[in-house]
Structure 1
């Protein structure tokens, strides 16, 4: 897969920090610091515009260090960027801590991972096959 990036930020392109990294860090592209009060949500620009092949998606994921140390996460869990999106990559952040948190220009705020996806052929039916598990779910095997 080839990834084309227009970088309108003041920061270097995302890169894999180690040979075993599955994600590349995304940086905030800000004119001034953002202060998030507890439970505040904000859309943070990156200054990046992407183009990648159909059959892939980009997943924006939280950074574990920010979550643990500052309580910063993504309110939607994982953000999906479709292969046909051409707008600026922006990251929704939430402050889940009890303290104000400041996001600074150039700070690494999230990571991006690329995944191959399958598009299923949808077949409408009247019933589906039974299994040993059946309808059991939501903790049916214990906690």
Structure 2
């Protein structure tokens, strides 16, 4: 399997620590809502961005739960948002402290009754394949914490500065 490594020179405009519980996707959407007024995008695009960030955070929570030992007690995922000054390409990333648990797109679709297994297919669709995984260090932890980010560049019409 091949993972695309995103350019390491990306400047993360905003970063937020999220709780390590089922409130994390909601909190991530709230943080994203604070960034979106800086750009003009239709309501449908906003909904797609919220869905994308929810899927990324949910995958990070699942990686945390699947880790043999919790990386740091209480350490949750982190939401990183990259928005260049020209507002042309929004990048979303979610950090988790589980560098050995690399997500991958399933080879087959889950059965219709399955409760999980569609998240990365949604990410793939909303980014048109512009997503990937790379090792990273926490931006929010007061102590060094190695992990990974799953980053995504949503497929949205050119964003305009408001």
* TM-score, scaled relative to structure 2: 0.27
Normalising by structure 1, we get a TM-score of 0.29
Higher strand share: 1
More helix by share: 2
Structure whose CA Rg is larger: 1
